[in-house]
Amino acid sequence: MGKSVENPKKNIISCRVNDREMEALQDLAKKAGTNISDLVRQSIMSLAHSHG
């Protein structure tokens, strides 16, 4: 049985990026002290709050 998590994530988003974009994502995530997935999640929520 898998571990129980408080907020399970069952949807997957796939996106192709070029080398320059990947380096930018990795750099931003490192500077934020997080990983790319969490960086994208935070960015989505920030955009959602600024437009709604």
pTM, entire model: 0.78
Q: With beta carbons less than 8 A apart as the criterion, state whether 29 and 39 touch.
A: yes
More confident of the two residues 37 and 2: 37
**Is there a domain that residue 10 lies in?**
no
Residue 29 lies in domain: 19-50
- pLDDT given at position 7: 85
Q: With beta carbons less than 8 A apart as the criterion, state whether 17 and 27 touch.
A: no
- The number of distinct structural domains making up the chain is 1
At 43, the pLDDT band (50, 70, 90 cuts) reads: very high
pLDDT surpasses 80 at 36: yes
The radius of gyration computed from the CA coordinates of the chain, to the nearest angstrom, equals 14
**Is there a domain that residue 12 lies in?**
no
